[in-house]
Chain A
Amino acid sequence: MRRRAIAIAALLALAALAIVAAASATTNRAAAPSAQAATAASLVKCGKTRSIGLMAPFTGPAASIGINQVHWAQYFQRTYNATHKTKIKFVNEDTMLGSANGTAEAVKGAQALGSNPSVLGVVGPAGSNEVKATTGALKGAGLGFVSGSATNTQITTDGTRTGYFFRTVPPDSSQSKSVSGYITGKLKVTKVYIVDDQEAYSIGLADEVEAQLKAKGVTVGRDGVSQQQSDFSAIINKIPRDTELVYLPWQLPPKGQAFGQQMKSLGRGSVKLMGSDGLFDPLFSGLGSNVYDSFFPLNPSDKRVKAFKKLHGGASELFGAPSYVATQVVSGAIDRACANGTASRAEVRAQLKKTKISKKASLLGLPVSFDKNGDMVKKPFGVYHSVNGVFVRVG
């Protein structure tokens, strides 16, 4: 009898779900599907609140970096709302980067933003694969999207999203040039070993750095570990004893720390370690003075950076700072498009192309404007050296 009861309960629960689903489906009847194409060019009256879509990994394995980006974006929103009559409102879509369903969540989010008529521009998504997956939906809805962390070089050069996609972070090609330039120019090492972490970001960077180093005559060994792995002893044993530098284009600082510690415990503590912007963190720099890293130039003593750190209790990561700039770019474009009272998504996109933020106003320490592909015109990466446990810019 208990079983029957539970079966009835399940049926009732299902019925309840169906009703709620139908109810929430009908309340969003704003735009019938065939009207989708019209939203791209359709004019929206610019009221006091401007809606910006925010796509980031709020939950899931990449949540720690995602929440950081969200905090930076919200920080811009806070400062903007405090100093302007119009207010920014975020429409949040959780992309769950790196989670079980892969990019499916990001596409769902993109579709939802596309069919929300008040959204005029999007900040995000965070991952390069997500950018690729959501291009169809966002382009179809006519939305421009600006990412603060999708660094894969091809997504701006392959032409599939020109005019729609922009990014406020230098691409991998810049980072790899800075890194290989520093390795061969300043450090002058001739034997390098590269270990990637099997993720798109890492493999892309590793491939480029490897090619550039080899072109300059450096001996390069290459291997990969899974992001889930913590046991590096087998890999460390494989690294030839005469290697002078190990390049780790990884995204998770605790992993970088573990690698460094295991190197030490296996007697290889004197080998230089170079990380990528994902490892720019005290956990990695705390390993010792043999540690280098590359990061986009950000002025740590900028007032806004200091204020952000204070807001979030001292130790906070700078990884999400480009998302601040991305929000700045999108809100600026919306404001300019709304100057005459109405705006359409196409107008916002046109304004995105014309973005011009001066060096003083930008957090990145360099002026922000976009080239024809959607990349920033100026896109250097700095190289840092760990001195007394803190990263100091050296190149």
Chain B
Amino acid sequence: MVGPNLEGGVPPGPGVVDQPRVGVDEWVANVDERREAQKGLTGLVRRAWEGVPPAGRLVILLGPFAIFPFFANEGNLYRYGLITVVYALLALGLNVVVGFAGLLDLGYVAFFGFGAYLYGIMASGHSGHHLQAEIAIPIAVVAAALVGLLLGLTSWRLLGDYLAIVTLFFLQAFVIFVNNANGGPSDFSYPFVGRVDLTGGANGLDQIDPLNFFGYHITTTKGYYFYTLISLALLMTMLYFVNKSRTGRAWRALREDPLAAEVMTMPVNRLKLLAFMFGAGTAGFTGTIFGAVQSGAFPGDYDVGLLITIYAIVILGGLGSIGGVVIGALVVNGAPELLRSSSNARFLFYGVLLLALLVAMRPWYRPVVVLLGTIAFGAVVRVVVAAAWPRGTAGHVQGGGAFGRALDHWVLIPTHVDRIAGWAYFVLILAALVLTLVRGWWRTIALIPTLYLASFVWENKLVEQVSGATRLILLGALLVVIMNVRPAGIFGTSRVEIV
């Protein structure tokens, strides 16, 4: 909330005309003008981007995706391409619920799973039915939307935090149900049919048929990739138009201030339900694709972990920004893949540190000082430690490459490192927090040992679990930092709330 700016505690008299103050109506009214007038690189890029017609923007965003399959082999296409596009589709649906309508839905991936399982029930070797996709997919989407409607009904009286918890519990309920609905002793006994094996329980619903449109089976990764990409393009187009329509405006009003919207006679509850249904339908649709691609649906796939990934995409990309979501999916999916090999991860880590240094410290000589200082500091420390305690430098950097070998001579890598690395991690966190509290030259000086320590912790601890815990640690830290710096996400529009 932005409060009025009361210098001296007394508001100026009526005849005083001065610069529009934050929070006052004129300042708000000038928001768009200020954005137009943004100087520098961001302003240039933004104006250029908004100058391109929407169709052109779509082509620019999705163009690289369309050419990608011709440059990548099957494995990479799946990893970097198909999964990214699937996540982007999912994230778009979530963007409608959270970004457009402002409802914190923490049960979203349950609809994703619902779509996959329902499609599996309709078309798999496990269930014995083999419906064609053109019948099965609409059924799955409509059913998912109906379930979304039911969940939305619980939000009738709820908003914000309470809605979040209710939807989260829905997700838990879904996972538990799907894990047990195999007709076995821990399943429910339904009224007329007794125990039925609906979902295969913990073993999953396997042998799901590939998508079968009027006799044409999609069986290759490339086929699924293009199918999903086209769906993504269609969905983005649809959302663009929805955003400009009355419903889109109504959703935005609901997001900004539900009470005011209600007072202005907007059917708030119906809008909420519509948002839920839309999101659920999208997720259900994506679920049918994912189920066919994996040719199976397993309970563990649709749990909180995936939810966090999709939320990360939506937040990074910017709540309410359609194109941003695609970029978010690329980053959130692509980055961990890149981070799988230690040498790639190393490049990324040091690269980001360097970038952050260059960007956050002005004028230009400060980062150079810090860099040189760190290198010198590191060299000195290493020489001292090597003399005093040989085991402290006997280890080797994981992964290789020229860069790795160079680092070998600079970073301390003790041979038995576990406990030291743990404490070092702890000290690093403290140091990072202290850095945010000091200013000026103190900060520059404090940066040097902190950077060396960061390098130490990275080489000795973080690099071990690069594709698992480390990635999530960085994600968590990133979320906190982004919220602090730019709460609307990278491509979202800053919102101004008036008290």
Given contacts A17-B334, A154-B203, contact A104 B301 (CB under 8 A): yes
- By the criterion CB–CB under 8 Å, are B485 and A29 in contact? no
Q: Does B108 contact A (CB under 8 A)?
A: no
Given contacts A101-B306, A103-B296, A210-B185, contact A14 B202 (CB under 8 A): no
Chain B residue numbers with a CB within 8 Å of A224 are 186
- By the criterion CB–CB under 8 Å, are A129 and B75 in contact? no
- By the criterion CB–CB under 8 Å, are A33 and B74 in contact? yes
Given contacts A28-B75, A136-B295, contact A100 B308 (CB under 8 A): yes
- By the criterion CB–CB under 8 Å, are A98 and B42 in contact? no
Q: Does B5 contact A (CB under 8 A)?
A: no
| Residues 300 to 348 of chain B near chain A (Cβ within 8 Å) | 300-306, 308-309, 327, 330-331, 334-335, 337-338, 340, 344, 347-348
Chain B residue numbers with a CB within 8 Å of A60 are 468
Nearest chain A CB to B180 CB, angstrom units: 8
Q: Which of A4, A116, A152, A160 contacts B40 (CB 8 A)?
A: A4
Nearest chain B CB to A59 CB, angstrom units: 3
- By the criterion CB–CB under 8 Å, are B73 and A28 in contact? yes
Q: Which of A6, A29, A94, A114 contacts B71 (CB 8 A)?
A: A29
Q: Does B76 contact A (CB under 8 A)?
A: yes
Given contacts A21-B338, A104-B294, A108-B83, contact A7 B42 (CB under 8 A): yes
- By the criterion CB–CB under 8 Å, are A129 and B204 in contact? yes
The range of chain A's interface size is 35 or more
- By the criterion CB–CB under 8 Å, are B468 and A129 in contact? no
Secondary structure at the B interface, as helix, strand, loop or mixed, is helix
- By the criterion CB–CB under 8 Å, are A102 and B203 in contact? no
Q: Closest chain A residue to B84 by CB distance?
A: A21
Given contacts A200-B204, A207-B185, contact A13 B296 (CB under 8 A): no
- By the criterion CB–CB under 8 Å, are A32 and B360 in contact? no
- By the criterion CB–CB under 8 Å, are B305 and A99 in contact? yes
Q: Does B196 contact A (CB under 8 A)?
A: no
Q: Does B78 contact A (CB under 8 A)?
A: yes
The range of chain B's interface size is 35 or more
Q: Does A30 contact B (CB under 8 A)?
A: yes
Q: Which of A33, A135, A207 contacts B222 (CB 8 A)?
A: A33
| Residues 88 to 105 of chain A near chain B (Cβ within 8 Å) | 94, 96, 98-104
Tell me the B residues contacting A by CB distance below 8 Å: 40-42, 45, 64, 68-69, 71-80, 83, 125, 179-180, 182, 184-186, 201-204, 206-207, 220-222, 294-296, 298-306, 308-309, 327, 330-331, 334-335, 337-338, 340, 344, 347-348, 351-352, 355-356, 359-360, 465, 467-469, 472, 485-486, 490
Tell me the A residues contacting B by CB distance below 8 Å: 2-14, 16-18, 20-22, 24-26, 28-33, 36, 59-60, 63, 94, 96, 98-104, 107-108, 111-116, 128-129, 132-133, 135-137, 152, 154, 158, 160, 198-200, 202-204, 207, 210, 222, 224
Given contacts A17-B338, A59-B468, A59-B469, 6 further A-B contacts (CB under 8 A): A8-B41, A13-B351, A102-B300, A129-B202, A129-B300, A204-B203
